[in-house]
């Protein structure tokens, strides 16, 4: 049973890309997206983030940050992150614009706000394929360490779903077991494509 | 084709032979490709049976793929449905959930496809083919099978899809209020364009009512799942899907809002019953469902807001809910404000409605569901006659009275009342209507039975029903109302229905006014009111609508068209609320005419309903309603009643005071309004119509509104007030009020009427048109802001632009002097308007062009500049006006050239020289600094002693500029015009020349040095234009690299025509050394100033090649000039040298040293050599020792043989004493003697010098003798040889 997974966070940089990289390495069919209106990376101060539009290649961002302040961005891990990302795919993608990428079986979000956005978006898609999509949310803080943990957990859950004969029948169990084992709260819902 | 078949057969066999499931699936996919896409017509019939056999395959992937194949076949070839659906049915029961799930998905899609085809065929052809009916029956089987899956506890995954299918069918089986007509079926997402309303009017196979009932039943089943006993066994996932489905249904089908929401709300506080640990997810689902519904702008959602918000608060997301609510309420308030903002007299009256108390109105409108008297509600239950609106009238007594009456007259008397005319229509509607209405009526009853919760639902249901459906319900209920009135009290109603037959009970005393019989045409004007009209609003408006009624038969018909129609529709007293709602909702059909299949047909029904409604009104009034209302009637009406109208013989005496006894209803008599009242009323109503624009725009009827409004206004053009009102409205916010569109509609309407009007009075419309356009343009002018093009757009698109408006534009372009800053925008707007007029209106083109051209010679610089920009940049490129513009510019140029008042001319000659000189020198700088001409005048005034005389002259200078600017601007566009300028230059006055000079730098820099016309002109300049030519050349080369062509042309000009090196000066910097050298003497021959300029250019050189000559080369060239050969006066050469040496920064001492070094080697020595040496030493005393060396070299060159230089040599030696002594001593004795003869004063110091012990031995004896240091005479003969000796000695050194 090969499921199509989508990892979704706000900017398609840290959490979703961590998970994307991990799942991809494990041979799962995975894509990743961000739901924000722009890709935002921390800048020299909280009020001056680096803002890019979705579709800007990671390589361009990397070069941009290298140019701006290589020390700072090396210290806060952005450069490493971007290097990792450009090995996974070319550029961040926006969830709301992914209609052409086909349907997903599992959409994994890392923040409730993102979860809501994804649901909202799916409700407005007006397709009628009668195809189920499981949308799962697990709150993960947007920093490198948490993202690494979150990625592993996402991988674990997705593998469980993948192993199930039909996740539709077992989702409650899977989620419960997962929650118990990892002591993380999940939230999930179902939408139809 | 055969090949494909064989291939397919081979594949099929291979599939059967293969053991492994996944391989089979792959093969099947290939097979499907062949069968379904390559050659479906011949292969499908053959292969489908084989394919269906795979349902018994043991491998579940194969069965799953079978389901997929079935979808492919079913969607494309409906004929196979009877074959494939049985298989699908069996797959539904498959033990593998994945297979069953796929089967549901496939079946759902086929189901929708078949449903759509059946519906379309039925709608278009009136019947459905048998095979399609067959298909439909199969799909119904499928549907039932899936439903059983949805509501039984089997596999969760299967159930999810089954539930989704239930949701889909509910949506499919209920009319979509936003749906499309069959012929518009592009794709509407969820329902793929299919909408139940297509078949609402009857369908041979599908029965909208039955399907609706089924949907309702299924919804009930879904809801039951979430009710307490059932919910406890629900798995989370299923619960989530059901919640989501229900929320989706509520959102898309507002009519179900009232059924769904209570269940969801009930679920909120106690989700515990739901199984599993994933409560959080369920709660989240509920939250998002609530928020979603809260955001939905369906009017049906309004009453639920409070409860939604409360529920959300209890779920700890109150803040988000509040936020959403605030957002929504703001929108509502804005709408509300817009509606009530204009408190005309009428609308204040509306507030004190006698029928509904104000507080209740507001509750209904804004948030909460109306508090309703429960006992009353319950009492209405057994009636079952659909007195649905009773809930909304909380007028207790009114209600009771109705209830008292209704049961008595419920049955029996109903049908006979219907007059023949309508009976027919009734029959028709009944033919398809009755059966579909019945369940809805019972639905109403059921809802009413639910108490408070149902109350709001009823309202929502009413609002969301399709208008024709609602109409049928109302009609169906008509029969239950009491009828047969003994006499008609309100005859004036009779006057109002134009289409409907007059009921037998209502004798038509009042002749029917012709205008009133146009409801179809004018009814859309009602949209402002009926589109948003929820019931309460209608009620509130009732009194107002009663109000103008007396005016109806009077003369103010045209103006009052709208209010009168409202009367017709809505002025029904509340007891007959059914009829009223019916009508108002029927009006809605006009709004949503996109939904109704034939609005025209609808209207027939509509008209007839009115008459029926009317008959009941009469009955009711007879009973007891009228007295009840009466005390609350407006003063006007009371007054009217007192003055009873003689034309109403049957009208009873006016009554007042409350009475419970049935009394003859008082008559609202007809009293013509005074003209003022009429005007006020009409204006007020017009204002109301205008101000409702937002609502209408929101409802999407803006275009229609504009068209109607324009027609309305145009029809009453005689009433200037109407146009003023419109104008005020439009100008209040030209953009937001769609001013342009509206105004254009009106203008066209007026124009059309003018065009159609008879010859006798053609003036009135055209006058109205003209005045309207003019005042509008004035209004726009006063509001003009930068970049606003509304005026020009208006003028460009108006049907005709009368002269008065053009004058206005002209005034705009020519603002009175003073306050210019504020008028700048006016000028721009005016010119823009002219531009668009010239472009778009050929008839006004000449006039407008003249206006624009007039502006190009305007006194105000700003205006002129703008006008010139317009004319030169925008208009001149237009072929059809170019010649005119050119002529005008030329004429205006010639006018200043040839206009010479003797006075000015004389003064020019007297003062011109001086002025022009300063002018020329400062010119570039001034232009560069952007100094305005007036400032220049100031400068000159200061320089000139005769200020007064100067002033007059300056004025004429600006005058000249004023008239010529346009021409110059055109020159930049059309270079050929330059020749004209060159030609007239010669005969121009000083002032004109001055003006020209002032323009030149900018003009020619714009044109550039590559223009062919310009080059030709330069090659062959007209006589008299030499000065101008020079100016031009300077401008062209100033600061920029002149083009190759220009250089070539100038050289040619020099070679062929003038031989005057002056013309070469501008291009010198771009010439090479080889080119400069031959002409150098000619440059030297020029006046000193010119030479200086040339020198500067030569030394400056071009950026690429560097200077043509270095300073050293310049000097050497200078010395190379032979006055005779080159025919340059020696004096000029000397001056030139002096000029060079004066520039000590350029001709530095190094340069001089280098030059002297080279010159001294030349043979013969240049004539001016010694002169230069002297000057060099003079300028740079530090050069002395170097010069001494030169001198001694000269000695060795026997300088004394060249008399002219010898003098110089001696002079130099004299000036450079004492350093020159040793050089002098080197001279042969004879020459030394010569020198001492010339400068006797030298002898003493020279002797002293020679007498020094270190020097003396080197000095020849003869010289010593000469100096008196030695007395040896015989030695004198040796002096020469000794001198020679010493010379060689020196040269050796």
CB within 8 Å: A190 and B241 = yes
* pLDDT for the residue B945: 37
Q: Mind telling me how many Å the CA of A158 is from chain B's nearest CA?
A: 18
Domain with residue A166: its CATH number is 3.40.50.2300
Cβ within 8 Å, pair A190-B112: no
Cβ-contact B996, B1032 below 8 angstroms: no
For A190, the closest chain B residue by CA position comes to: B241
Q: Which among B637, B546, B544, B557 has a CA at the least distance from the CA of B343?
A: B544
Confidence of residue A118 (pLDDT cuts 50, 70, 90): very high
Tell how strand A50-52 and strand A39-41 pair up: antiparallel
Contacts of B190-196 with CB under 8 Å at 24 or more apart are B190/A126, B190/A128, B190/B252, B191/B112, B192/A128, B192/B112, B192/B116, B193/B116, B194/B112, B194/B115, B194/B116, B194/B119, B196/B172
Task: Give the residue from B618, B633, B648 where a domain finishes.
Answer: B633
B393 and B309 belong to one structural domain: no
CB distance B290 to B264 below 8 Å:
yes
**How distant is the Cα of A34 from the closest Cα of chain B, in angstroms?**
20
Same domain, B379 and B322: no
Nearest CA in chain A to B282: A189
Which residue in B has a C-alpha nearest to residue A187's C-alpha? B281
Same domain, B348 and B302: no
Cβ–Cβ contacts within 10 Å for residue A44, how many?
12
Is residue B972 in a domain? no
Interface probe for B, chosen from A111, A168, A174, A180 (most Cβ of B below 10 Å), is A168
Asked if B1247 and B1219 count as a contact pair (C-beta separation under 8 A), the reply is no
Structure tokens at B168: 């889909």
Report residue B990's pLDDT band, with 50, 70 and 90 as the boundaries.
confident
For residues B605-634, give the mean pLDDT.
42
Q: Report if residue B752 sits inside a domain.
A: no
Among chain B residues, the shortest Cα distance to A131 is held by B105
Tokens of B433: 């209507």
Q: Are residues A171 and A122 in the same domain?
A: yes
B569 and B478 part of one domain: yes
Inside any domain, residue B1070: no
User: Cα–Cα distance between B247 and B261 in angstroms, integer?
Assistant: 8
Q: 3-class DSSP state for residue B338?
A: helix
Tens of pLDDT, residues A124-162: 887 777 888 999 999 999 999 999 999 999 999 999 998
Cβ pair A176:B161 closer than 8 A: no
Task: Identify the closest residue of chain B to A168 by CA–CA distance.
Answer: B157
Considering the domain boundaries, does residue B909 fall inside one? no
- Summarize pLDDT for B786-816 with one digit per residue, the tens: 666 777 777 777 777 777 777 877 777 776 6
- The structure tokens 């009007």 sit at B757
Total domain count for chain A? 2
Confidence of residue B279 (pLDDT cuts 50, 70, 90): confident
Structure tokens at A161: 């779903």
Among the listed residues B712, B708, B707, the one whose alpha carbon sits nearest the alpha carbon of residue B722? B712
pLDDT at B584: 43
Provide the phi-psi class of B187: left if phi over 0, else alpha when psi is between -120 and 50, else beta: left
Q: Which residue has the higher pLDDT, B774 or B715?
A: B774
Chain A to chain B Cβ contacts (< 8 Å):
82
**pLDDT of residue B367 exceeding 70:** no
Q: Are B126 and B182 in contact (CB under 8 A)?
A: no
A101 and A148 share a domain? yes
Higher pLDDT, A38 or B1090: A38
User: Is pLDDT at A165 greater than 70 in this prediction?
Assistant: yes
Tell me which residues of chain A have a C-beta less than 8 Å from any C-beta of chain B.
116, 119-120, 123, 126-132, 165-169, 171-172, 175-176, 179, 185-192
Give the confidence band of B754 by pLDDT, cuts at 50, 70, 90. confident
Residue B591 Cα, gap to closest chain A Cα (Å): 26
Q: Which residues does B contribute to its contact with A (CB < 8 Å)? A: 97-98, 101, 104-105, 108-109, 112, 155-158, 160-161, 164-165, 168, 188-190, 192, 235-237, 240-241, 244, 248, 275-278, 280-281, 284-285, 288, 292
Nearest CA in chain A to B162: A130
Locate B531 and state its tokens: 């589109």
Q: Between these two residues, B978 and B551, which has the higher pLDDT value? A: B978
Report CB contact under 8 Å: B156, A169: yes
Mean pLDDT score of chain B: 67
Residue B66 confidence (pLDDT) above 50: yes
Facing B160 at nearest CB: one of A129, A175, A190: A190
Pairwise CB contact (< 8 Å): A116 & B288:
yes
What residues contact residue B1285 under an 8 Å CB cut-off, 6+ apart? B1260
Q: What pLDDT, on the 0 to 100 scale, is given for residue A12?
A: 93
Length reported for chain B: 1293
Over range B588-604, report the average pLDDT: 41
Checking if the pLDDT of B1090 tops 50, the result is yes
DSSP label at B369? P
Min Cα–Cα distance to chain B from A23, Å:
25
How far, in Å, are A109, B275, B452, B1095 from residue B378 at the CA level? 51, 38, 10, 114
Find, among B506, B508, B473, B478, the residue nearest to B416 by Cα. B478
Given B633, B651, B684, the domain boundary residue is B633
Say if the Cβ atoms of B157 and A119 lie within 8 Å.
no
Where are the extended beta strands (E) located within B466-599? none
> Do B614 and B509 belong together in one domain?
yes
The per-residue pLDDT for A59 is 93
Average pLDDT over residues B890-917: 54
* B266-B267-B268 Cα angle (round to 5): 95
Q: Are B860 and B821 in contact (CB under 8 A)?
A: no
List the domain range (segments joined by +) for residue B365: 342-633
The Cα–Cα gap between B1142 and B1148 comes to 10
Contact between chains at A172 and B278 (C-beta distance less than 8 A): yes
Give the minimum alpha-carbon distance from B286 to chain A in angstroms, rounded to a whole number. Answer: 11
- With 0-12 CB in 10 A as exposed, 13-18 as middle and 19+ as buried, what is A95? buried
Higher pLDDT, B255 or A37: A37
pLDDT, tens only, B1075-1084 = 777 777 777 7
Q: What's the start-to-end Cα distance of chain A, in Å?
A: 19
Cβ atoms of residues A97 and A54 within 8 Å: yes
Q: Could you list the residue range(s) of the whole structural domain that residue A142 is in?
A: 4-36+94-192
Q: What is the separation of C-alpha B603 from the centre of its chain, rounded to a whole number of angstroms?
A: 39
Last residue within a domain, chosen from B334, B362, B391:
B334
Same domain, A143 and A176: yes
A-chain residues within 8 Å CB-CB of B110?
none
Q: Is the model's pLDDT at B284 over the cut of 80? A: yes
pLDDT of residue B1049: 77
Which of A111, A114, A125, A192 is the best residue to mutate to test the B interface, defined by the most B CB atoms within 10 Å of its own CB?
A192
Report CA A19 to chain centroid distance, whole Å. Answer: 7
Residues A50 and A15 in one domain: no
Q: Is B228 left (phi over 0), alpha (psi -120 to 50) or beta?
A: alpha
Q: What percent of chain B has pLDDT over 90?
A: 1
Listed in sequence order, the residues at least 6 apart from B1161 whose beta carbon sits closer than 8 Å to its beta carbon are: none
Name the pLDDT band for B1106 (thresholds 50, 70, 90).
low
Do A11 and A99 belong to one domain?
Answer: yes
Rounded Cα distance between B644 and B638, Å, is 11
Do the Cβ atoms of B284 and A168 come within 8 Å? no
Residues of B with Cβ-Cβ distance to A171 under 8 angstroms: 237
Pick A188's closest partner by Cβ from B101, B188, B281.
B281
Sign (positive/negative) of CA torsion B7, B9, B12, B17?
A: negative
Burial of B1292 (0-12, 13-18, 19+ CB in 10 A): exposed
* Residue A127 Cα distances to B101, B187, B188, B797, angstroms: 18, 10, 9, 44
pLDDT value at B555 more than 60: no
* Inter-chain residue contact A172 with B235, CB threshold 8 Å: yes
Average pLDDT over all residues of chain A: 90
Q: Is the pLDDT of residue B53 over 50?
A: yes
List of chain A residues whose C-beta atoms are within 8 Å of the C-beta of residue B156: 168-169
Are B423 and B308 members of one domain?
no
Statement: residue B47 has pLDDT above 60: yes
Does the pLDDT of residue B612 top 70, yes or no?
Answer: no
Do B491 and B573 share a domain, yes or no?
Answer: yes
- Partnered with residue A137 across adjacent β-strands are A109, A187
Q: What are phi and psi of B944, to 5 degrees?
A: -90, 140
Torsion sign, CA atoms B867, B868, B869, B874: positive
Q: Are residues A16 and A109 in the same domain?
A: yes
Burial of B1069 (0-12, 13-18, 19+ CB in 10 A): buried
Q: Is the ipTM of this complex over 0.90?
A: no
In DSSP notation, chain A reads ---EEEEEESSSSSHHHHHHHHHHHTT-EEEEEE-SSSEEE--SSTTS-EEE-TT--HHHHHHHHHHH-HHHHHHTTHHHHHHHHHHH-SS--BGGG-GGG---SEEEESSHHHHHHHHHHHHTS------EEEEEE----SSHHHHHHHHHHHHHHHHHHHHSS-HHHHHHHHHHHHHHHHT---EEEEEE-
Contact B691, B726 (CB under 8 A): no
pLDDT higher at B194 or B1: B194
Q: Give SS3 for B308.
A: helix
Residues B525, B597 within the same domain: yes
CA atoms within 13 A on the CB side of B84: 29
Query: Higher confidence at residue B926 or residue B326?
Result: B326
Instruction: Please report the pLDDT score of residue B431 as a whole number.
Output: 37
Question: What average pLDDT score do residues B917-935 get?
Answer: 39
Percent of the residues in chain B that have a pLDDT greater than 70, as a whole number? 63
Cβ atoms of B85 and B142 within 8 Å: the answer is yes
Do both B434 and B325 map to the same domain? Answer: no
Same domain, A27 and A103: yes
Query: Model confidence over B1276-1291: pLDDT tens digits?
Result: 444 444 444 444 444 4
Residues A33 and A98: beta-carbon distance below 8 Å: yes
For residues A66 and A106, membership in a common domain is answered with no
Instruction: Quote the pLDDT of residue A25.
Output: 92
Residues B390 and B259 in one domain: no
DSSP state of B1166: P
Indicate whether B780 belongs to any domain: no
| Average of per-residue pLDDT across B110-138 | 86
Averaged pLDDT for residues B1053-1064: 70
| B108–A175 C-beta distance less than 8 A | no
Look at residue A91 in the predicted model and tell me its pLDDT.
Answer: 93
| Same domain flag for A18 and A70 | no
The answer to the question of residue B671 being in a domain is no
CA distance B744 to B169: 48
B427-436, B689-698, B1208-1217: least confident range: B427-436
Query: Around Cβ B73, how many Cβ atoms within 10 Å?
Result: 26
Q: A-chain residues within 8 Å CB-CB of B109?
A: 128, 130
| Mean pLDDT in residue range B686-702 | 73
Q: Which two tokens stand for residue B559?
A: 């103006």
B495 assigned to some structural domain: yes
Same domain, residue pair B298 and B385? no
Q: How far apart are CA B1270 and CA B1275, in angstroms?
A: 10
Contact at CB, A187 and B248, closer than 8 angstroms: no
| DSSP codes of every residue in B1093-1108 | HHHHHHHH-BTTTB-S
Instruction: List pLDDT tens digits, range B154-168.
Output: 778 888 889 989 998
Q: Which of A99, A109, A138, A169 to mutate to test the interface with B (most CBs of B within 10 A)?
A: A169
CA distance B87 to A51: 56
Q: Looking at the structure, do residues A23 and A115 belong to the same domain, yes or no?
A: yes
Residues of A in contact with B292 (CB under 8 A): 123
Both B390 and B349 in one domain: the answer is yes
Minimum-distance CB partner of A189 among B157, B248, B281: B281
Smallest Cβ distance to B285: which of A168, A169, A189? A189
| Whether residue B373 has pLDDT greater than 90 | no
Average pLDDT on B718-734 reads 74
Q: What is the pLDDT of residue B339?
A: 66
Q: Which of A165, A172, A187 sits opposite B284 (nearest CB)?
A: A187
- Please indicate, yes or no, if residue B769 is contained in any of the structural domains: no
Q: Which residues of A touch B244 (CB under 8 A)?
A: 189-191
Total domains in chain B come to 2
Q: Do A130 and B190 touch (CB under 8 A)?
A: no
Task: Kindly state the average pLDDT of the residues B692-705.
Answer: 71
pLDDT band at B1059 (very low <50, low <70, confident <90, very high): low
């Amino acid at each position: 049973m090969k499921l199509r997974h989508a990892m979704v966070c706000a900017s398609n940089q840290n959490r979703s890309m961590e998970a994307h990289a991990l799942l991809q390495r494990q041979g799962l069919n995975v894509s990743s997206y961000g739901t924000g209106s722009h890709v935002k990376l921390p800048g020299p101060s909280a009020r001056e983030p680096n803002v890019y539009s979705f579709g800007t290649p990671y390589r361009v961002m990397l070069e941009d940050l290298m140019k701006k302040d290589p020390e700072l961005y090396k210290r806060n891990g952005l450069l490493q992150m971007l290097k990792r990302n450009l090995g996974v795919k070319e550029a961040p993608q926006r969830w709301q614009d992914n209609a052409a990428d086909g349907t997903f079986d599992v959409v994994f979000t890392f923040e409730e706000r993102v979860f809501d956005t994804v649901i909202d978006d799916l409700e407005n898609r007006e397709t009628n394929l009668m195809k189920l999509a499981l949308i799962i949310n697990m709150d993960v803080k947007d920093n490198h360490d948490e993202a690494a943990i979150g990625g592993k957990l996402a991988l674990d859950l997705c593998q469980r779903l993948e192993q199930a004969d039909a996740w539709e029948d077992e989702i409650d169990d899977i989620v419960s077991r997962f929650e118990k084992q990892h002591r993380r709260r999940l939230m999930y819902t179902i939408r139809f494509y | 084709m055969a090949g494909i078949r064989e291939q397919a057969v081979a594949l099929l066999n291979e599939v059967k032979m293969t053991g492994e499931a996944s391989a089979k699936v792959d093969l099947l996919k290939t097979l499907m490709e062949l069968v379904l896409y390559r050659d479906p017509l011949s292969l499908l019939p053959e292969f489908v049976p084989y394919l269906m056999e795979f349902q018994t395959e043991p491998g579940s992937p194969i069965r799953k793929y079978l389901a997929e194949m079935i979808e492919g076949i079913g969607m494309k070839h409906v004929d196979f449905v009877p074959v494939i659906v049985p298989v699908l049915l069996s797959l539904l029961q498959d033990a593998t959930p994945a297979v069953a799930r796929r089967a549901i998905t496939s079946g759902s899609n086929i189901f929708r496809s078949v449903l759509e085809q059946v519906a379309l065929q039925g709608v278009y052809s009136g019947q459905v083919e048998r095979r399609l009916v067959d298909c439909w029956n199969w799909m119904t089987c499928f549907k039932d099978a899936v439903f059983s899956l949805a509501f039984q506890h089997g596999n969760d995954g299967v159930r999810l899809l089954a539930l989704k299918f239930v949701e889909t069918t509910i949506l499919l089986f209920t009319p979509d209020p936003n749906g499309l007509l069959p012929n518009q079926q592009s794709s509407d997402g969820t329902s793929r364009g299919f909408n139940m309303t297509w078949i609402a009017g009857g369908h041979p196979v599908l029965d909208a009512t039955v399907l609706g009932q089924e949907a309702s039943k299924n919804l009930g089943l879904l809801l039951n799942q979430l009710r307490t006993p059932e919910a406890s066994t629900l798995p989370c996932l299923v619960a989530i899907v059901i919640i989501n489905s229900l929320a989706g249904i509520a959102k898309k089908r507002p009519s179900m809002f009232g059924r769904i929401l209570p269940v969801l709300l009930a679920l909120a506080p106690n989700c515990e019953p739901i199984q599993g640990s994933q409560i959080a997810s369920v709660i989240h689902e509920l939250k998002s469902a609530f928020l979603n519904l809260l955001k939905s702008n369906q009017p049906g959602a309004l009453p639920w807001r409070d409860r939604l918000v409360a529920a959300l608060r209890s779920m700890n997301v109150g803040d988000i809910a509040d936020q959403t609510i605030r957002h929504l309420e703001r929108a509502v308030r804005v709408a509300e404000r817009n509606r009530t903002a204009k408190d005309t007299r009428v609308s204040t009256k509306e507030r004190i409605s006698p029928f509904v108390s104000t507080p209740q109105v507001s509750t209904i409108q804004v948030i909460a569901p109306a508090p309703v008297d429960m006992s009353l509600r319950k009492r209405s239950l057994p009636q079952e006659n659909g007195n649905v609106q009773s809930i909304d009238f909380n007028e207790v007594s009114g209600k009771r009275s109705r209830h008292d009456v209704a049961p008595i007259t419920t049955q029996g008397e109903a049908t006979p009342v219907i007059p023949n005319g309508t009976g027919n229509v009734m029959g028709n509607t009944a033919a398809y209507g009755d059966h579909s209405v019945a369940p809805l009526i019972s639905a109403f009853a059921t809802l009413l039975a639910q108490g408070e919760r149902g109350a709001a639902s009823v309202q929502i249901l009413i609002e969301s029903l399709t208008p024709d459906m609602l109409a049928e319900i109302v009609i169906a209920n008509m029969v239950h109302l009491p009828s047969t009135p003994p006499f008609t009290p309100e005859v004036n109603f009779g006057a109002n229905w134009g289409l409907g037959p007059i009921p037998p009970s209502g004798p038509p005393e009042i002749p029917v006014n012709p205008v009133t019989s146009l409801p179809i045409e004018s009814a859309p004007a009602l949209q402002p009111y009926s589109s948003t009209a929820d019931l309460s609003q209608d009620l509130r408006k009732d009194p107002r609508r009663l109000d103008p009624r007396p005016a109806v038969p009077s003369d103010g018909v045209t103006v009052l068209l709208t209010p009168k129609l409202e009367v017709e529709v809505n002025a029904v007293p509340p007891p007959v609320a059914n009829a009223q709602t019916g009508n108002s909702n029927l009006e809605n059909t006009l709004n949503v005419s996109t939904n109704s299949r034939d609005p025209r047909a609808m209207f027939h029904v509509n008209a007839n309903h009115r008459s029926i409604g009317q008959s009941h009104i009469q009955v009711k009034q007879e009973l007891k309603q009228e007295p009840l209302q009466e005390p609350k009637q407006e003063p006007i009406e009371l007054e009217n009643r007192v003055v009873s109208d003689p034309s109403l013989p049957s009208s009873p005496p006016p009554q007042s005071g409350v009475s419970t006894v049935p009394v003859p209803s008082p008559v609202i008599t007809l009293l013509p309004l005074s003209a003022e009242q009429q005007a006020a009323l009409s204006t007020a109503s017009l204002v109301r119509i205008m101000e409702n624009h937002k609502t209408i725009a929101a409802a999407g009827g803006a275009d229609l509104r504009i068209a109607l409004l324009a027609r309305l206004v145009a029809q009453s053009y005689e009433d200037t007030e109407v146009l003023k009102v419109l104008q005020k409205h439009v100008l209040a916010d030209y953009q937001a009020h769609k001013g342009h569109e509206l105004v254009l509609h009106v203008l066209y309407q007026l124009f059309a009427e003018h065009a159609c009007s008879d010859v006798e009075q053609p003036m009135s419309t055209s006058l109205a048109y003209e005045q309207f356009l003019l005042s509008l343009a004035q209004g726009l002018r006063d509001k003009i802001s930068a970049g606003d093009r509304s005026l020009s757009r208006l003028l460009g698109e108006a049907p005709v632009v009368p002269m008065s408006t053009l004058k206005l534009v002209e005034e705009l372009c020519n603002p009175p002097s003073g306050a210019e800053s504020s008028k700048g925008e006016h000028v721009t707007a005016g010119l823009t308007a002219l531009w668009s007029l010239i472009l778009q209106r050929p008839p006004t083109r000449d006039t407008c062009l003249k206006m624009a051209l007039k502006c190009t010679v305007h006194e105000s610089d700003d205006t002129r500049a703008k006008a010139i920009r317009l004319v030169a940049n925008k208009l001149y490129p237009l072929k059809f006006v170019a010649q005119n513009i050119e002529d005008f510019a030329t004429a205006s140029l010639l006018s200043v050239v040839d206009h010479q008042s003797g006075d000015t001319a004389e003064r020019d000659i007297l003062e011109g020289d001086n002025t022009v000189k300063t002018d020329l020198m400062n010119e570039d700088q001034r232009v560069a600094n952007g100094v305005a001409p007036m400032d220049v005048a100031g400068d000159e005034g200061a320089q000139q002693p005769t200020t007064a005389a100067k002033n007059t002259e300056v004025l004429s200078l600006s005058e000249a500029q004023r008239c010529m600017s346009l021409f110059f601007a055109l020159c930049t566009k059309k270079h050929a015009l330059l020749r004209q300028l060159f030609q007239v230059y010669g005969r121009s006055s000083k002032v004109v020349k001055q003006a020209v000079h002032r323009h030149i730098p900018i003009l020619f820099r714009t044109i550039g040095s590559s223009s062919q016309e310009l080059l030709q002109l330069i090659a062959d300049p007209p006589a008299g234009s030499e000065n101008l030519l020079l100016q031009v050349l300077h401008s062209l080369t100033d600061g920029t690299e002149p083009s190759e062509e220009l250089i070539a042309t100038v050289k040619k000009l020099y070679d062929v025509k003038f031989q005057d090196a002056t013309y070469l000066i501008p291009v010198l910097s771009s010439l090479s050394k080889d080119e400069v050298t031959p002409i150098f003497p000619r440059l030297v021959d020029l006046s000193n100033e010119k030479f200086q300029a040339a020198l500067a250019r030569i030394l400056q050189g071009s950026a690429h090649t560097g200077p043509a000559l270095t300073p050293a080369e310049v000097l050497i060239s200078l010395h190379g000039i032979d006055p005779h050969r080159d025919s340059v006066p020696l004096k000029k050469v000397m001056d030139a040298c002096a000029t060079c040496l004066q520039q000590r920064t350029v001709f530095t001492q190094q340069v001089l040293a280098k030059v002297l070094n080279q010159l001294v080697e030349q043979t013969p020595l240049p004539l001016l050599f010694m002169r230069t040496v002297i000057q060099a030493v003079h300028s740079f005393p530090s050069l002395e020792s170097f010069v001494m060396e030169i001198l001694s070299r000269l000695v060795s060159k026997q300088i004394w043989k060249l008399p002219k230089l010898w003098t110089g040599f001696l002079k130099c030696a004299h000036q450079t004493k004492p350093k020159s002594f040793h050089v002098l001593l080197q001279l042969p004795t004879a020459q030394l003697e010569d020198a001492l003869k010339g400068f006797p004063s030298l002898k003493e110091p020279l002797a002293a010098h020679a007498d020094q012990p270190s020097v003396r031995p080197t000095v020849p004896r003869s010289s010593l003798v000469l100096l008196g240091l030695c007395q040896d005479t015989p030695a004198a003969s040796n002096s020469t040889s000794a001198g020679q000796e010493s010379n060689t000695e020196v040269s050796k050194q």
